[in-house]
Structure 1
Amino acid sequence: MLFAVAIYSTRISEGEGVIEDYFLASRGFPSYIVAVMLAGIAVGGASTIGVAESAFRAGISAGMYNAAWGAGAIVVGFTAAARLRELTVTTIPEIFGNYYDDAGRIIAVIGQVIIQVVITSLQYVAGGAILSALLPELFTVTSGTIFTAVVLGLVALIGGYWGAGLTNLVNVIVIYFGVTIGAIMSIRDFGGFTELMAELPGGTPWFDPVAGVGMAMVIAWFVVMITQSHSVQGVVQIAFAARDESSARRGFLLGGLIILPVGFICALFGIVAAIQFPGLEDPATALPRVVMQLSPAVAGFTLAGLWASSISTTVGLLLGTSTLVVSDIWENYIQRDISQRREELISKIVVVLITILTLLLAITIEGILDALLLGLTLTTAYTVVVLFTLFAPSLCKKRAAFWTIGTGILFLLSWFVFPAIRIVPHPIFLAWPIALVTFLTVSFVDDTPASIPENLKK
């Protein structure tokens, strides 16, 4: 069905050029496609498999991860979505290149590619875990990861951004129906919540909405998700592709509401797994293993929904990363005068190469949520620059983007290399003050204002 939808989507193109058609769906997304595209990006492997993995240890509070994602989308809907669409740009680094300088654009591309490659890789890991549980005689986690990458890469290659939007309409329906039915049936098999709670091991606040993962981590999730929703290319590209400003705003608000509940549903699978598989060596397989105890029809549909979650996230991210490479690097620094046919060829080659790169990384990743949260911390610097650009342009100076993002990258590298600087429970608590101080310092010492258009200064 997904391949059929992807092929159909190629007929919707309005012929406005490869970047506009293939990477931005001719800027024609209505609000409901914006919403399901956003939900598809959010409700991926981390939001399903990763949440269940965390809930296996910490209980229902793992679902706050998705609540944070939904909150981030809603905040963008109320604040920046319409203004982002108004810019009529293609990428976040394009904003930095147009308004700040080339150095800011280049370093912005590097950081964005790093962020999206990490997120994309995690979706393959989740897809591999699902397939290895669903068909263990055919797939290991590794071979399932490879198969997931191949299928998702082909969907992106064939359908482009319209394909991503339309397939996510299918995916989101399948995801919600599948995981809801699966959760209900898995709890029913225990005789209801009362029996489930009686079987749970002591020592863990299984149904406390915060205590399991801890207040500090919940706050970190909300800060990270609200931050990244303003500046990750795969997310803001959805706003760029909206039909108009109101479609972008309504789509982000609706998408946030769709995202909010799914984490708590998936956390239930992790709690059930804590009873059924107390010695589970790989908690990333907790959710699919629980599902496989259900009737074949329910298990098949639920696991199809979970695998759809990996597809829904990855297709948009692959195209977002490829947009960065083609629009910000190839067409600016390698081949400015490029024919439409060659541009299309380069775009699809880049999709294939990004798929291969993310697959190689996926095979080495452990701990879905931990890896994702660390990668998303880097978005803080981007969000600071974007928010100042949109809402305080008088403070924006020419070198602010380069130094803010560069400092953010150096800080995150230092977090990994020098454990002594880890004085807070999560790097996001230092990333924000560092980014703000850097931006405002450059604003004070740099005499050259950024080239902010007059319409943004109103």
Structure 2
Amino acid sequence: MNIPLIIVILYVIMLLGISVVISIKSKKDGGEDFLLYKNKNSTMITAVTIAGVAIGGASTIGIAENAFSVGLSAGWYNVAWAFGAIIASFTIVKKLRKSGFSTVTKLIQSIYDEKAGVMMTIAMIIIQCTIIALQYIAGGSILSSLLPDVFDLKTATFFSFLIFMLVGFVGGMGSASVSNILNISLIYIGIITSAVLVLFNQGGWEAAKIMAESTPNVPYMSLTSGMGIPAIISWMIVMCGNTNSVQGAVQIGLTSKDDKSAVNGFRIGALLMIPIGFICAMLGIASKALIPNVAAAKALPMIIMSLPPVMAGLTLSGLWAADMSTACSMLIGCSTTVSHDVFFRTKAGNKFKDKSFMINKIIILVVGILTYILSSQLGTILSAMKVCLSMAIGTSIIVVAGLWCPKFSSKNAGFFTILSSVFAVVAWLEFSELHDMFKDIGYWMIVVSGITFVVISLLEKNKVIASDEENKIDNLNLARHK
């Protein structure tokens, strides 16, 4: 009897059950509620939802594998996510709720101009589609590594895509939110219990200490030396970009029942992100110490599957749950962008306004299929994730500056900043010399997009909003979108 597989199947059944219940409620409230789930969530559901977005494949398996070469400092990836969420709680969460808009694109278009809104839409779709596709790959890697007798990488990736997409397709943002109560609980139970068993029952802690002492050239037990301070700071810059402008993360603030729940939810969610990163890093170090001659991708799965079957199944489900929570939120976020900022702004879309519930489901289905096709073209999870997320630095600059520095920000700065971000990513991928100069893509992106925004804002006199008109515009926006 394959107990780990049975636990995964039970977990999937529970997820789909939650989705069906939420779907029935969302249909009664209308199609927009299906994607946005506005003003429904308590502080804690908001917290587990934003934590679920952060704790994905890169935040668990990716960190464990990265710890093979950089040690405990790999856990800073999750700290960077937490830092971004806390910054967002001060900068964007209440502002978006107050604006009356449902998407970041509409907010940007109201601040800057239509061409900035178009560029924002393109950036949101590129960033979110890449993240979703990477989660399918990560989910496939987890299942194929831990259940090799059941899945190979191809079938495991397809199974991950199918379930992730079904949860979003059936239940929308409501199921993505509520299911994170189960997901985060499972992640913590599985990973913490496994860490205790591996580190103390299987001798992982002692083996890790011996390995660290015998290989001083690799700072396995250092909190910062492996990654290095510059790389850690770069991750924080990248994640601030993500949490302050990417639709899949930002719209979680709209699901909260009030401003206080939204802000506190982001901050509590940030605290939930941090421990998992360092625990997974320690698991990675212990795996290398216990099975020194096995590749990083195989060592952790071998360690997990050596645990008692029930614990192995819970850990497997926890790792996969981490992946699913990120994929579903980003899938809903991307679908919201396509629905609100593309389809329903066309003449054809306007004809289907009264069928928004069905149309939004179709959009989720289409986005899911297209991102699955994209997943076959992507490479290493963590490196691809960082290049993708770095585009959000430019979008975040125009969001935060437009909201908080309207006297300085110029109308054309929005369009050209996002455009420069796209060219900067292409340049980074094409010219390896940039890697030597800037060491990390986060620094390259903030230099390019930051300089572009500042120079255009200095040269152009047409500012986004006059300070004495700001309150008037806010009130007009609220009235127009109620």
Alignment TM-score > 0.5, same fold: yes
Deviation at 1:36, TM superposition (A): 0.6
Which letter does structure 2 place at the counterpart of 1:109?
Answer: T
CA distance in 1, matches of 2:241, 2:270: 14
Deviation at 1:98, TM superposition (A): 2.2
Residue 242 of structure 1: aligned partner: 256
User: How many aligned residue pairs are there?
Assistant: 456
Which structure's residues are more often helix, by fraction? 2
CA distance in 2, matches of 1:169, 1:163: 10
Residue 162 of structure 2: aligned partner: 150
Deviation at 1:262, TM superposition (A): 0.6
Residue 426 of structure 1: aligned partner: 440
Aligned counterpart for 1:67 among listed residues 68, 72, 79: 79
Structure 1 stretches lacking a partner, 5+ long: none
Aligned counterpart for 2:123 among listed residues 108, 111, 117: 111
Residue 279 of structure 2: aligned partner: 265
CA distance in 1, matches of 2:170, 2:430: 41
CA contact (8 A) 1:49 1:285 kept: no
Can you list the C-alpha shifts for 1:255-314, whole angstroms capped at 9, x where unaligned? Answer: 101111110111122112213443434x34443332111111111111111111111111
1:405 and 2:405 aligned: no
Residue 103 of structure 2: aligned partner: 91
398-407 vs 156-165, which moves further: 398-407
CA distance in 1, matches of 2:152, 2:27: 42
CA contact (8 A) 1:13 1:26 kept: no
1:167 and 2:183 aligned: no
CA contact (8 A) 2:338 2:363 kept: yes
Secondary structure (helix, strand or coil) at the match of 1:59 reads helix
Residue 333 of structure 2: aligned partner: 320
CA distance in 2, matches of 1:162, 1:73: 20
Secondary structure (helix, strand or coil) at the match of 1:335 reads helix
* RMSD (CA atoms): 2.0
1:213 and 2:227 aligned: yes
Aligned counterpart for 1:37 among listed residues 37, 45, 49: 49
TM-score by length of 1: 0.94
CA distance in 2, matches of 1:41, 1:8: 22
CA contact (8 A) 1:46 1:122 kept: no
Can you list the C-alpha shifts for 1:78-136, whole angstroms capped at 9, x where unaligned? Answer: 33322222122111111122222221111111111111111112211221122113321
Secondary structure (helix, strand or coil) at the match of 2:438 reads coil
CA contact (8 A) 2:402 2:464 kept: no
Percent of residue pairs bearing the same amino acid type: 34
CA change 1:17–1:401 in 2 (3 A) is farther
1:454 and 2:470 aligned: yes
Which letter does structure 1 place at the counterpart of 2:261?
Answer: S
Can you list the C-alpha shifts for 1:123-169, whole angstroms capped at 9, x where unaligned? Answer: 11221122113321110122111100001100000001111100011
CA distance in 2, matches of 1:59, 1:153: 34
Residue 240 of structure 2: aligned partner: 226
Deviation at 1:74, TM superposition (A): 1.6
CA change 1:113–1:280 in 2 (3 A) is farther
**Deviating 4+ runs (over 6 angstroms):** none
CA distance in 1, matches of 2:417, 2:15: 40
CA contact (8 A) 2:237 2:393 kept: no
Secondary structure (helix, strand or coil) at the match of 1:383 reads helix
Which letter does structure 2 place at the counterpart of 1:251?
Answer: G
CA change 1:375–1:456 in 2 (3 A) is farther
Residue 25 of structure 2: aligned partner: 12
CA contact (8 A) 1:272 1:290 kept: no
Which letter does structure 2 place at the counterpart of 1:47?
Answer: S
Structure 2 stretches lacking a partner, 5+ long: 1-13, 475-482
CA contact (8 A) 2:238 2:390 kept: yes
Aligned counterpart for 1:384 among listed residues 397, 402, 417: 397
Which letter does structure 1 place at the counterpart of 2:238?
Answer: V
Q: Which structure 2 residues correspond to residues 347-358 of structure 1 after superposition, within 5 A?
A: 347-358=360-371
Deviation at 1:15, TM superposition (A): 4.8
209-218 vs 376-385, which moves further: 209-218
Which letter does structure 2 place at the counterpart of 1:108?
Answer: M
Q: Which structure 2 residues correspond to residues 336-347 of structure 1 after superposition, within 5 A?
A: 336-347=349-360
CA distance in 1, matches of 2:63, 2:227: 11
CA change 1:363–1:69 in 2 (3 A) is same
CA distance in 2, matches of 1:105, 1:15: 31
Residue 439 of structure 1: aligned partner: 453
Secondary structure (helix, strand or coil) at the match of 2:371 reads helix
